Amino acid sequence: MAKILLEMKNITKTFPNVKALDNVNLQVEEGEIHALVGENGAGKSTLMNVLSGIYPYGTYEGDIIYDGEVCKFNDIKDSEGKGIVIIHQELALIPYMTIAENMFLGNERGTKFKINWNETSDLARKYLDVVGLKDSTETLIKDIGVGKQQLVEIAKALSKNAKLLILDEPTSSLNESDSQALLDLMLKLKKEQGLTSIIISHKLNEVSYVADKITVIRDGSTIETMTKGVDDFSEARIIKGMVGRELSDRFPSREHHIGDVKMEVKNWNVYHPLYMDRKVVDNVSINVRKGEVVGISGLMGAGRTELAMSIFGRSYGEKISGQLTIDGKEVVLKNVQSAIKHGLAYVTEDRKGNGLILTNPIKINTTLANLEEVSKKRIIDKDKEYKVAVDYKEKLNTKAPSVEQNVGNLSGGNQQKVLLSKWMFADPDILILDEPTRGIDVGAKYEIYCIINQLVAEGKSVIMISSELPEILGMCDRIYVMNEGRMVGELDGKDATQEKIMTYILQSSGKKKEVNHE
């Protein structure tokens, strides 16, 4: 048996209100490729952040034993010093610097007072050759495609004498041939340099191709570790490990009174606002009925938020095309104002960034999307505003000393309730809820589900985007499955299972038509 390079023992990491990791154990042997798989929010990235020192020693419980000694990393520099290098899903390269400059950023060759450019480009060349990138070291990052950028990241890691390389979703933005090249590079580095790597991926076909061992994480715990050649590496087997959990009565029941089609979206296409040749929503058609909760399931980056925001008054994307009908009439929603006027509301997944004004009190946030309702001739009736805010605070059971409290001081669950208040007060007919229960505790989740039930009972339509499969299954009358910008399946709420949804997603992964990223 080979030497154990890394052992993470009983790692527990708690955030306010949430236990993200619960007694996680992970063993990685020297010279192997170890895959971590699990649903969104299972705790994979948190575990890697603990390992790389982003969450410093002392903020978690348990031990990291690396190369035979217990490590106490204070920051990412410490872990890199030991040869542990992490490459994040969002690449950390600076577009207007050259490949060589990027590779040695923070690790410059030469002295403090004079950078040795010759040494920089020689070394850069050496590592670029290892990863098989032929472009000049003087090329600007912005001029090469995502696939090559990924290679630059790996070369950068190697230049830091990486012994353990961690790749977080390395192929998520690559096309098939680039992905294949990357996986082959990993195998080559393993064989020629004896490099150990940990790969986090949702693409199970890639995982079974490249990995020697697979560890499954679910709900913050390690479920099992499978070894190539010993265990079954089939996708079905892995999926079972990822989702195998029981649905209990975590969801309030409701009566179903589903009416006519309220809104229909047909052949919807959206392009990325910056990379305008990248299609983020590809020919999607969905509809929602009165009194219906429709779920959109999928992995992060599947294009769900982009779909929702582009429908909501084109608040995301470029070159949006497609047909939108509300109550049987075709409408064009050119901006958010007209979307709100047509009875739409979009409750963002990013409540701090896009939803709330954290420095303002609850009452101001509650009325922001519908100020006309509490004002006469553009003059705000502050008493009315106060009353509205108090009403919603009571209705949604928001826990705060008063509506004068700044929302920045509230917990995630209560912030979410304020955000819901804001959009309920705008009195929409169709609510698009994007990850409505992300990062909030179980009790608050249940209350949010009750609010959703109440909304559809009033005859409103709800589209719920969620990465949590149990939530989608527990709440929705109908479920759409999205992956890589396309709609890849539609299920009736009654027949849907986690396995079915995951199968839809995984079968469609990586089968996207070749698009030129360069």
Partner 1 sequence: MNKDQVIGFIKKNTMIFVLIIVYAFFSFRTGGAILLPMNVSNLISQNAYVFVLATGMLLCILTGGNIDLSVGSVVCFVGAVGATLMVNMKVPVWLSIIIMIIIGTAIGAFQGFWIAFVRIPPFIVTLAGMLVFRGLSNVVLNGLTVSIKDKSSFVNLFGGGADCYIHDVFGNGTLNLTCLFAGLVAAALFIMIQVSTRMQRTKKNYEVENFGAFICKLVAVSAVIIIFSYKLAQHKGIPTVLIWVLVVVLVYGYITSNTTVGRYFYAVGGNEKATKLSGINTNKVYFLAYTNMGFLAALAGMITIARLTSAQPTYGQNYEMDAIGSCFIGGASAYGGIGTVPGVIVGAVLMGVINLGMSLMGVDANMQKVVKGVVLLAAVIFDVVSKRGGKLMVKN
Residue 383 near partner 1 by CB under 8 A? yes
Contact between residue 393 and residue 403 where contact means Cβ atoms under 8 Å apart: yes
Residue 379 near partner 1 by CB under 8 A? yes
Least spacing, CB of residue 76 vs partner 1, in Å: 12
Least spacing, CB of residue 206 vs partner 1, in Å: 34
User: In which residue are the tokens 């709100």 written?
Assistant: 340
Contact between residue 42 and residue 299 where contact means Cβ atoms under 8 Å apart: no
The alpha helices in 194-317, defined as continuous H runs, are 204-210, 235-243, 304-311
Distance CA 180, CA 196 (A): 19
Binding residues for partner 1, rule CB under 8 A, total 34
Nearer to partner 1, 143 or 404 (CB): 404
Helix (H, G, I), strand (E, B) or coil at 365: helix
Least spacing, CB of residue 488 vs partner 1, in Å: 28
Residue 382 near partner 1 by CB under 8 A? yes
Length of the chain: 518
Query: By C-alpha distance, which of 239, 253, 244, 310 is closest to 279?
Result: 310
Nearer to partner 1, 74 or 321 (CB): 74
Least spacing, CB of residue 407 vs partner 1, in Å: 10
Q: Which two tokens stand for residue 164?
A: 């353990």
Least spacing, CB of residue 169 vs partner 1, in Å: 25
Q: Read off the amino acid at residue 3.
A: K
Q: Which of 111, 248, 359, 516 binds partner 1 (CB under 8 A)?
A: 359
Least spacing, CB of residue 431 vs partner 1, in Å: 14
Residue 358 near partner 1 by CB under 8 A? yes
Q: Which of 212, 336, 391, 411 binds partner 1 (CB under 8 A)?
A: 336
Helix (H, G, I), strand (E, B) or coil at 197: strand
Residue 431 near partner 1 by CB under 8 A? no
Residue 360 near partner 1 by CB under 8 A? yes
Least spacing, CB of residue 64 vs partner 1, in Å: 22
Q: Which of 192, 246, 255, 372 binds partner 1 (CB under 8 A)?
A: 372
Query: By C-alpha distance, which of 438, 422, 260 is closest to 340?
Result: 422
Distance CA 130, CA 155 (A): 8
Residue 118 near partner 1 by CB under 8 A? no
Residue 356 near partner 1 by CB under 8 A? yes
Q: Read off the amino acid at residue 129.
A: D
Residue 180 near partner 1 by CB under 8 A? no
Distance CA 234, CA 229 (A): 11
Nearer to partner 1, 4 or 76 (CB): 76
Residue 107 near partner 1 by CB under 8 A? no
Residue 320 near partner 1 by CB under 8 A? no
* Interface positions, 205-224, toward partner 1 (CB under 8 A): none
Q: Which of 209, 275, 386, 446 binds partner 1 (CB under 8 A)?
A: 386
For residue 389, which phi and psi values (nearest 5 degrees)? Answer: -60, -40
Span interacting with partner 1, options 136-144, 324-332, 339-347, 476-484, rule CB under 8 A: 339-347
E-strand ranges in 251-351 read 261-271, 279-289, 293-297, 318-326, 329-330, 344-347
Distance CA 468, CA 487 (A): 18
Q: Which of 369, 450, 510, 517 binds partner 1 (CB under 8 A)?
A: 369
Query: By C-alpha distance, which of 294, 242, 284, 297 is closest to 466?
Result: 297
Cβ burial of 170 (10 Å; 0-12, 13-18, 19+) is buried
Q: Read off the amino acid at residue 103.
A: M
Least spacing, CB of residue 359 vs partner 1, in Å: 5
Write out the residues near partner 1 by the rule CB under 8 A. 312-313, 315, 335-337, 339-340, 346, 348, 353-360, 364, 368-369, 371-372, 375, 378-380, 382-383, 386-387, 402, 404, 422
